[in-house]
Amino acid sequence: MSDHTLTPDATVEHENPIVICNPDKEQENPELSEEESSSSIYTPAKLRFWNRVATALHFIQFVLLAMCAAAVPKFRDFKLNLTYSYFELIDANDSSRGMRNAVGDIGAMHIGPYVALFFFLSALFQGLTTVNFMGLNDIYNADIARCQNRFRWYEYAISSSVMIWIIAMFTGVSDICALINIFAINACMNFFGLLMEHENSNAKTVTWLPFIFGCFAGIPPWISVLTSLAAASSPPGFVYGIFISYIIMFCTFPANMVLQFKKVGPWADYRFGEYVYILLSLIAKSLLGWLVFGGLNQPNSYTN
């Protein structure tokens, strides 16, 4: 793999000039001017505008859900149980009889605030790309010029892992160790997305290994969720809706990456793919977030 770092002065080499990555020009100022981006209609200013629009809409949804989760009794009181597994003696008075699996109760977890957190994380990270504080907007523009976006993958690693944790709990996964592993493996899948862009930012040919590893890492959480869903006697219909919706939305993001690196049609311009990521993040997360939050209307032992 290539040896390079995520620094503003890194250069990029691409054959297709429509991709805004200029290998012959050193960027003393990592923010590209409108003239430098003339071969792309998705200028830094346009991407900044749409990131701000997405930030505002994500934040509005965060505020609405946070208010509902705090003020509406059905949403405020909806909780799901957390458990842990351990071994215990079959007979406390006779250790020779061996051990057996047992389940302990940790307590109940409020779900509403974590759905709201999902939107807050999206608003936070997308908002950071638009501000000049500590040169964050310059770092974002320099990343885009190298055909990568670290902000996106760090946010996805956290927000999508929060969401898969919630979905797993809705399907019946309650063991804290299983949930932590689902969260961590899902985060690693997104880190492989960052690695995919990082490894190919200076490469003359595309290496697909990080993408393949990321797809592999993305499978186990879904095996856990599907197994729990299949084992349930009669899960509510909305759980199936959440599961199917998430699978469909989940697949749109790697599809966008493939189109970017294959340079298919308008995706030959990396900035177009970045614009699609912004739209996907807004549309897919909004639909999924409200669908999951709507699940809090279901009967629950803590709301009766």
Which DSSP string do the residues of 41-84 spell out, in sequence order? SS-HHHHHHHHHHHHHHHHHHHHHHHHHHHH-HHHHH-EEEEEE
Please indicate, yes or no, if residue 20 is contained in any of the structural domains: no
Please indicate, yes or no, if residue 33 is contained in any of the structural domains: no
The percentage of the chain sitting over the pLDDT mark of 70, rounded to a whole number, equals 84
In this structure, are residues 160 and 183 in contact, taking their beta carbons and an 8 Å threshold? no
Which region among 64-68, 70-74, 92-96 has the lowest average model confidence (pLDDT)?
A: 92-96
Query: Is the confidence at residue 160, as pLDDT, over 80?
Result: yes
pLDDT tens track for 198-208: 999 877 889 99
| Mean pLDDT confidence for 279-287 | 91
* Higher-pLDDT residue of 199, 11: 199
When divided into structural domains, the chain yields a total of 1
**Residue 63's domain spans which residues?**
44-297
CA distance to 2, 24, 32, 293, per residue, from 14 (Å):
15, 11, 17, 43
Of 50, 52, 17, 49, the closest CA to residue 36 belongs to: 17
In the DSSP assignment, the letter for residue 261 is H
Please indicate, yes or no, if residue 76 is contained in any of the structural domains: yes
Confidence of residue 10 (pLDDT cuts 50, 70, 90): very low
Query: Is the confidence at residue 165, as pLDDT, over 90?
Result: yes
Burial label for 235, CB within 10 Å (0-12, 13-18, 19+), is middle
Please indicate, yes or no, if residue 61 is contained in any of the structural domains: yes
Which region among 41-50, 111-120, 289-298 has the lowest average model confidence (pLDDT)?
A: 289-298
pLDDT tens track for 81-129: 999 998 888 877 777 778 888 888 999 999 999 999 999 999 999 999 9
| Mean pLDDT confidence for 173-180 | 94
Spatial separation of the C-alpha atoms in residues 26 and 148, rounded to whole Å: 17
Query: Is the confidence at residue 5, as pLDDT, over 70?
Result: no
Q: What is the pLDDT of residue 236?
A: 67
Which region among 8-22, 217-231, 252-266 has the lowest average model confidence (pLDDT)?
A: 8-22
Please indicate, yes or no, if residue 17 is contained in any of the structural domains: no
Q: Give the residues across from 108 on adjacent strands.
A: 81
Opening angle at CA 228, ends 225 and 232, nearest 5: 140
* Higher-pLDDT residue of 18, 299: 299
pLDDT tens track for 242-272: 778 878 888 899 999 999 998 898 888 899 9
Give the domain CATH number at 111: 1.20.1070.10
| Chain centre distance of CA 205 | 27
Please indicate, yes or no, if residue 29 is contained in any of the structural domains: no
Which region among 36-45, 163-172, 245-254, 280-289 has the lowest average model confidence (pLDDT)?
A: 36-45
Confidence of residue 294 (pLDDT cuts 50, 70, 90): confident
Q: What is the pLDDT of residue 291?
A: 86
Please indicate, yes or no, if residue 190 is contained in any of the structural domains: yes
Q: What is the pLDDT of residue 54?
A: 95
Please indicate, yes or no, if residue 266 is contained in any of the structural domains: yes
| Mean pLDDT confidence for 29-41 | 51
Query: Is the confidence at residue 18, as pLDDT, over 80?
Result: no
Q: What is the pLDDT of residue 41?
A: 83
